[in-house]
């Protein structure tokens, strides 16, 4: 069956034909696994692929590798990126506009530790987990991440086993449960992060294997720019710092395996779900950039840890009963100091508008920036007699004059605007979300208030391009250059499990993955 994937993006799709059980189809997977590597740029698998020997190597050499996959929306941040993966829908549809408008929830306290509460209360609609549960109420799901949003958003609103790292422990919030399970309490009691105190991050291969320079003054704010990088000697301090080191991924993968054992995922007749979101690449990438020796070594370490993880998972659940998908939640821009692009900022514009509103009306009306989107309480503005359309137009005129800004939309203009930028913004902003302007940048530019780190969140290829690679029974190594989107992952896994989405989705079933089901017809 042939599908036209890109031209039909954005329309609700009828997937019944793709999901109809086939008489000679292979059995549904016992375990479907999604691995999201935070800030895994789409070019990394090819750039470093020859050096991989572990888990990433398997996706490159044994999997179906989509080389032109994208987070198909504006505001390419962690929250929206994770929300697309198993929902089959855009951030605008699921209601997760950005990290700032994501999972933060003061009413959902953490268990056993201090930190900001989190829940999926803003998430709208369903995900693969819900579709599996409707088909089979005995379905089990586990989601583990170094970040709350990385663990929460692929699962959606469901009350599943969802855990993330906070200061030496993996925990969850009262949205999900009142106490941690015994298996996770036992894992936390071993204080694995504390045992890394004083550990040095050294190069995993000879220095000659790294073409990137080591001492680059603009990386990491000019601090700690030369290998080795060392964790604090104090165990408590190390527990706080390890989340920004390569070892964060090894801890998350270890917890995921422990959870698979404890919950006996993949041991049933039906299909269970495992999500692992790995955060270290994002933090290393922000500090040192995509062209750094640090990112190079981080990916080599990740490759090794993923290899151990896949081997261990194969002992618990046979490979012939497991499907594993690898993707990223967004990319990242190179440091502008390398000579390409630049840094753009609307902070001064925000402060000016906030100051004016405060002086005239005694309130800033919640003005805030989310990767080029200026949000505000527009209902409150109207209640105070402010002409919101006029305010938006004035702000858009000012933003258009900023260096690096390519195009600016207002709520009055976005719906009728043509072009790729407008399409991406429509897929990012949720209906009912109050906002004033949405600004896109010139290629190579990033939203930033100053040097010291690099960022993502824009609409060009540096930030939208991510890999999608799939390992599973009956799949042969293949590179696919056709453009696809992360919204396609959820519907594809649903098709493999023989279930249907519970609502209209914009993602499409990837025919290269399900064609194996029809090969024996």
Are residue 282 and residue 352 in the same domain, yes or no? no
Q: CA quadruple 424, 425, 430, 432: dihedral positive or negative? A: negative
For 11: left if phi > 0, alpha if psi spans -120 to 50, otherwise beta; the answer is beta
Are residue 367 and residue 277 in the same domain, yes or no? no
pLDDT in tens, 216-273: 999 999 999 999 999 999 999 999 999 889 999 999 999 999 999 999 999 999 999 9
pLDDT for 12 equals 37
pLDDT in tens, 400-438: 999 999 999 999 999 999 999 999 999 999 999 999 999
Are residue 246 and residue 353 in the same domain, yes or no? no
Judging by beta carbons within 10 Å of its beta carbon (0-12, 13-18, 19+), is residue 297 exposed, middle or buried? buried
Q: How many residues does the chain have?
A: 521
What whole-number distance in Å separates Cα of residue 517 and Cα of residue 495? 10
What whole-number distance in Å separates Cα of residue 201 and Cα of residue 230? 6
What whole-number distance in Å separates Cα of residue 202 and Cα of residue 340? 29
What whole-number distance in Å separates Cα of residue 296 and Cα of residue 281? 10
Q: Which helix (H) or strand (E) holds 407?
A: strand 405-409
Instruction: Find all residues with CB under 8 Å of 136, minimum gap 6, and list them.
Output: 270, 271
Are residue 266 and residue 389 in the same domain, yes or no? no
What whole-number distance in Å separates Cα of residue 456 and Cα of residue 454? 7
Long-range contacts of 395-398 (CB under 8 A, 24+ apart): 395/349, 395/353, 395/436, 395/437, 396/437, 398/349
Residue 350 lies in a domain: yes
pLDDT in tens, 255-271: 999 999 999 999 999 99
Residue 465 lies in a domain: no
pLDDT for 516 equals 59
Q: What angle do the packed helices 280-288 and 293-316 form, to 10 degrees?
A: 170
Are residue 278 and residue 347 in the same domain, yes or no? no
Question: What does residue 83 show for φ and ψ, rounded to 5 degrees?
Answer: -65, -25
Residue 126 lies in a domain: no
- Are 333 and 462 contacting, i.e. CB atoms less than 8 angstroms apart? yes
Q: What mean pLDDT do residues 64-73 have? A: 98
Q: What mean pLDDT do residues 49-64 have? A: 97
pLDDT for 25 equals 62
Q: Is the pLDDT of residue 21 over 80?
A: no
Hey, is 65 helix, strand or coil? strand
Judging by beta carbons within 10 Å of its beta carbon (0-12, 13-18, 19+), is residue 258 exposed, middle or buried? middle
Counted domains in the chain: 2
Instruction: Find all residues with CB under 8 Å of 27, minimum gap 6, and list them.
Output: 321
Are residue 327 and residue 348 in the same domain, yes or no? no
81: closest CA among 41, 131, 54, 30?
Answer: 41
Residue 212 lies in a domain: yes
What whole-number distance in Å separates Cα of residue 114 and Cα of residue 118? 12
pLDDT for 27 equals 87
Residue 220 lies in a domain: yes
pLDDT in tens, 475-516: 999 999 999 999 999 999 999 999 999 999 999 999 999 975
Identify the domain containing residue 434 by its residue range: 342-447
For 173-195, give the DSSP string. BTTT-SS--HHHHHHHHT-TTGG
What predicted TM-score, i.e. pTM, was given to this entire model? 0.94
What whole-number distance in Å separates Cα of residue 42 and Cα of residue 367? 33
Q: Final residue of a domain: which of 308, 332, 356? A: 332
pLDDT for 473 equals 95
Q: What mean pLDDT do residues 90-98 have? A: 98
Residue 120 lies in a domain: no
Are residue 240 and residue 351 in the same domain, yes or no? no
Other beta carbons within 10 angstroms of residue 511's beta carbon come to 17
Are residue 208 and residue 258 in the same domain, yes or no? yes
Are residue 211 and residue 327 in the same domain, yes or no? yes
Are residue 221 and residue 327 in the same domain, yes or no? yes
- Are 147 and 277 contacting, i.e. CB atoms less than 8 angstroms apart? yes
Residue 509 lies in a domain: no
What whole-number distance in Å separates Cα of residue 12 and Cα of residue 200? 51
What whole-number distance in Å separates Cα of residue 492 and Cα of residue 479? 17
pLDDT in tens, 363-411: 999 999 999 999 999 999 999 999 999 999 999 999 999 999 999 999 9
Q: CA quadruple 503, 266, 278, 145: dihedral positive or negative? A: positive
Q: Is the pLDDT of residue 296 over 50?
A: yes
Are residue 256 and residue 350 in the same domain, yes or no? no
What's the CATH code of the domain at 427?
3.30.1360.150
What's the CATH code of the domain at 213?
3.40.720.10
pLDDT for 264 equals 98
pLDDT in tens, 465-480: 999 999 999 999 999 9
For 328-359, give the DSSP string. ES---PPPGGGSSSEEE--HHHHHHHHHHHHH
What whole-number distance in Å separates Cα of residue 284 and Cα of residue 24? 47
Residue 354 lies in a domain: yes
pLDDT for 22 equals 40
Are residue 244 and residue 217 in the same domain, yes or no? yes
Instruction: Find all residues with CB under 8 Å of 218, minimum gap 6, and list them.
Output: 335, 337, 451, 452
Residues β-bridged to residue 170: 165
Q: CA quadruple 187, 107, 80, 126: dihedral positive or negative? A: positive
DSSP single-letter state for residue 453? S
């Amino acid at each position: 069956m042939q599908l036209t994937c890109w031209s039909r993006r954005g329309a609700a799709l009828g997937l019944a034909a793709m999901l109809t059980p086939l008489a000679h189809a292979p059995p549904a997977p016992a375990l479907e696994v999604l691995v999201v590597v935070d800030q895994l740029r789409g070019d990394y698998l090819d750039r470093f692929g020859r050096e991989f020997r572990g888990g990433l190597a398997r996706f490159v050499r044994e999997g179906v590798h989509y080389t032109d996959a994208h987070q198909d929306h504006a505001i390419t941040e962690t929250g929206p990126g994770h929300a697309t993966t198993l929902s089959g829908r855009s951030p605008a549809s699921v209601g997760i506009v950005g990290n700032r408008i994501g999972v933060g929830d003061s009413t959902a306290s953490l268990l056993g530790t201090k930190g900001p509460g989190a829940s999926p209360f803003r998430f709208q609609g369903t995900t693969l987990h819900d579709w599996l549960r409707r088909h089979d109420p005995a379905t089990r799901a586990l989601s583990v991440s170094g970040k709350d949003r990385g663990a929460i958003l692929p699962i959606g609103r469901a009350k599943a086993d969802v855990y993330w790292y906070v200061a030496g422990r993996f925990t969850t919030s009262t949205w999900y449960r009142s106490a941690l399970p015994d298996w996770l309490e036992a894992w936390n009691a071993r204080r694995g992060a504390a045992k890394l105190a004083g550990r040095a991050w050294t190069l995993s291969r000879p220095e000659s294997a790294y073409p990137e320079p080591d001492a680059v003054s603009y990386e990491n704010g000019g601090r700690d720019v030369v290998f080795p990088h060392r964790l604090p000697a104090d165990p408590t301090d190390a527990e706080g710092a390890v989340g920004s080191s390569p070892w964060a991924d090894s801890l998350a993968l270890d917890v995921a395996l422990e959870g698979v054992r404890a919950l006996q995922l993949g041991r049933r007749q039906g299909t269970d779900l495992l999500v692992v979101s790995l955060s270290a690449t994002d933090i290393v990438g922000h500090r040192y950039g995509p062209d750094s020796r640090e990112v190079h070594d981080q990916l080599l370490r990740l490759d090794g840890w993923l290899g151990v993880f896949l081997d261990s998972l194969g002992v618990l659940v046979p490979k012939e009963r497991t499907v594993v998908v690898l993707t990223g939640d967004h990319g990242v821009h190179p440091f502008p100091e390398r000579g390409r692009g630049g840094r753009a900022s609307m902070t001064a514009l925000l402060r000016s508008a906030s100051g004016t509103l405060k002086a005239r009306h005694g309130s800033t009306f919640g003005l805030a920036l989310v990767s080029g989107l200026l949000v505000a309480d527009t209902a409150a503005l109207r209640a105070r007699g402010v002409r919101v359309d006029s305010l938006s137009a004035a702000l858009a005129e000012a933003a258009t004059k900023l260096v690096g800004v390519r195009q600016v939309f207002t709520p009055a203009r976005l719906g009728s605007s043509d072009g790729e930028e407008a399409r991406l913004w429509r897929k990012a902003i949720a209906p009912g979300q109050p906002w004033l302007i949405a600004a896109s940048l010139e290629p190579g530019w990033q939203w930033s208030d100053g040097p010291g780190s690099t960022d993502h969140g824009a609409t060009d290829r540096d930030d939208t391009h991510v890999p999608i690679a799939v390992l599973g029974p009956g799949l042969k190594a293949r590179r696919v250059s056709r453009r696809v989107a992360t919204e396609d992952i959820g519907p594809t896994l649903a098709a493999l499990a023989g279930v249907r989405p519970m609502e209209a989705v914009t993602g499409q079933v990837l025919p290269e993955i399900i064609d194996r089901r029809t090969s024996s017809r």
